[in-house]
Structure 1
Amino acid sequence: MYKKLSTLLLVAACSLPVCSWAQEHPYRPVDGWAKLPEGREWGSTSAVFVGPDDTIWVAERCGQNSCVGKDDVDPVLHYDRDGNLIKTFGAGMIVWPHGIFVDKDSNVWITDARGEGNRGHQVIKFDKNGRELMRLGKAGVAGDGPDEFNQPSDVLVAPNGDIFVADGHGSGGNNRIVKFDSRGRFIKTWGTTGAEAGEFRDPHALAMDSLGRLFVGDRGNSRTQIFDQDGKHLATWTQFGRPSGLYIDKDDMLYAADSESHVIWSGNWGWKRGIRIGSVHDAWVRYFIPDPLQPDPQTGGTTAAEGVAVDKDGNIYGAEVGPKQLRKYERLKWVMPTE
């Protein structure tokens, strides 16, 4: 049985910006891996997920940083493992695709984190062919009621079908987690604005481990909070940086994409941007893939991966907002020794 480690021990274990035990990482960047239709360019991209058949799903913002005015462009793209485009869909339905989740039945869930007219502030469920199956939230309405969202950042479906939504992007949204049953019926919500345990500032990403613990990337507080599925706070980790994206693979390895550290306004000054990798069972950061474009600390800007996903062979996919691309990190066959 998992033994809960105290927040104090976890923070003390990695109090330095770059953990001294993090080994040289066994990954090679592969640019230009995902192919787009001729004449189309990547827009800002924060949403990537690996489906149960090990194909890759991504949502990008229609060649710009919003799909407004691009109603003829499909923001949801489906790729095979070789980077060949399988299908696209979603044109005219999504304002600002932000988070993505693919459930065990290959249904694709997208969070639309902005509103424009009668669209946005919703979570949309599609089948794998792009047919709409469900919507949560009121179209174009920003609110904090049980059937409303204000800039929902991410969505996750638990093995039993319960739905969790991280509701509140940036400083103007809600700061809470909302739970629904598999049919979209409201169950409960928890969290408010703040920095104490169970409070949030920009809950930006969700992931769940094999024990059913819910990991929340509390980006504005530069930490990851862990809860049971009823909202009980279990732990707070800071050693994985300022998380924009979280992903937990079949081996319970946590991949945390930090796209905002090392700028003065981030609140995480001195920490490098990049992807931190470690087991959820011992909480140690084993590898760190640095952002190749570390920012100017004064001006900042979003670089590197915000969204992150991993296939069955351990290859990492980073969805990049600032550079506007989907980058693949191929896992090499070697692993550095631990001593």
Structure 2
Amino acid sequence: MKQIKCEGERKGLTGESLDCGSFSYRLEMDWAKWPDQMRHMTVLNCCWGGGGFLYVVTGNQDVPVVVFDHDGNACKTIAQGMFGKSHSVSYTKNGTLLVADAHKNAHVIREITAEGKEVRVFGTKGVPGDSGYDFDYLETMQKRGENPTETKWNKNAASNARIDSIRRRGLPFCRPCGMIMTPDGEYFAADGYGNCAVHHFDGDGTYIKSWGAPEDFRVVHSICMDRQGRLWVADRENCRVKLFDTEGNLLAVAEGNLSRIGTVFTDDKYLYAAELDGGVTLIDLDTLEVAAQLGAPGDAVLKVHGICVDDGGNIYLATNKANENNLIRLARME
């Protein structure tokens, strides 16, 4: 197993630019042109799809998915009323979208068309997998005189107690975080808020198997596949990224000078790890070495929950903030 050491010197924003080695980006805070009635949406994630459209999930039940063009204009909304909390979105080879519903009572992932029509539902709505997860576990701990685990970046007692309540790997799903479709048409899911598992489904949506345990993951928050067919998984609260083959064998671990990992994304050259507490780390897919670490943990502007990259190498950041800086573009400069 390879250890990917993320230990380079990091620096924050310099005016409106962000640089690391040969990587240089212009910060475009106002790229997204939100309609007045949608300003200050909480943006959780995004992905590019067919026709040059960016699909953005907000977590808002009335406006769960907003569609932008390449110039940042909001074109339409889809899937109104279908999700309790649309947490992530990925585009499939079939031209559909996979949207994980992270609402505490949902426990499903929906595959929908680009127009917002339902294709398939993974999981059973309202029925959580048996991981032991308890949304109100902080109250239980307080009655016992116990304190939840506290990590470097997460100081939210209720959140940490919920993670502590997970006792075992459960079946799909318990507040899932994300799903992808592979080039072969199979599916892999990150089941993280109330579980500690990666789940594998075949092309018909039939469950195959899972891997993971509480000692392996502390919030399985995102998953993606690279061009070599390997799976990158965000182990959020442990501030690391794990690399697996499709059978669940661990190939590499990236850790070091990272904050919590919000989302992982790959293009043809790099793995992009969005850091929830500040920054973006790029890992070369061929060498499995760090290519760049943009921004620094603690950087308030670059607290990134979701990330995707377009064909020009421009990076799009979903910041999980209810303000006008909720969807930022880092424009690649030569």
1:42 aligns to what?
40
| Aligned partner of residue 305 in structure 1, secondary structure | coil
Q: Which amino acid aligns with 1:167?
A: D
Q: Counterparts of 2:83 and 2:109 in 1: how far apart (Å)?
A: 10
| Aligned partner of residue 39 in structure 1, secondary structure | helix
Counterpart selection for 1:289 from 287, 290, 294? 294
Where relative contact order (Cα < 8 A, 6+ residues apart) is larger, the structure is 2
Contact 1:239/1:285 (8 A) holds in 2: no
- Does residue 200 (structure 1) correspond to residue 207 (structure 2)? The answer is no
1:309 aligns to what?
308
Counterpart selection for 1:88 from 77, 82, 87? 77
1:30 aligns to what?
28
Deviations 1:157-186 (A, max 9, x none): 1111111110022xxx11000111121100
TM-score in terms of structure 2 length: 0.79
Pair 1:30–1:305, CA change in 2 (3 A): same
Counterpart selection for 2:180 from 150, 156, 159? 156
**Which runs of no fewer than 5 residues in structure 2 stay unpaired?**
12-18, 132-169
Q: Which amino acid aligns with 1:209?
A: D
Instruction: Provide the identity percentage.
Output: 30
Deviations 1:281-305 (A, max 9, x none): 222322333169725xxxxxx9621
Q: Which amino acid aligns with 1:214?
A: L
- Does residue 75 (structure 1) correspond to residue 75 (structure 2)? The answer is no
Contact 1:24/1:288 (8 A) holds in 2: no
Contact 1:52/1:104 (8 A) holds in 2: no
Contact 2:230/2:246 (8 A) holds in 1: yes
| Aligned partner of residue 102 in structure 2, secondary structure | strand
Q: Which amino acid aligns with 1:112?
A: D
1:6 aligns to what?
2
Q: How far did 1:93 drift?
A: 1.4
Contact 2:64/2:85 (8 A) holds in 1: no
Contact 1:303/1:322 (8 A) holds in 2: no
Pair 1:126–1:240, CA change in 2 (3 A): farther
Matches within 5 A, 1:42-121: 42-62=40-60, 67=61, 73-116=62-105, 120-121=106-107
TM-score in terms of structure 1 length: 0.78
Q: How many residues end up aligned between the 2 structures?
A: 286
Q: Counterparts of 1:103 and 1:109 in 2: how far apart (Å)?
A: 7
Q: Counterparts of 2:261 and 2:192 in 1: how far apart (Å)?
A: 15
Pair 1:31–1:160, CA change in 2 (3 A): same
Counterpart selection for 1:231 from 208, 225, 248? 248
- Does residue 138 (structure 1) correspond to residue 152 (structure 2)? The answer is no
Q: Counterparts of 1:28 and 1:90 in 2: how far apart (Å)?
A: 33
Measured on the aligned residues, the alpha-carbon RMSD in Å equals 2.4
Q: Which amino acid aligns with 1:328?
A: R
Q: Counterparts of 1:54 and 1:254 in 2: how far apart (Å)?
A: 21
Contact 2:10/2:296 (8 A) holds in 1: no
Deviations 1:212-242 (A, max 9, x none): 0000011121111111111111111115723
1:329 aligns to what?
330
Deviations 1:80-115 (A, max 9, x none): 101122321122111111111111222011000123
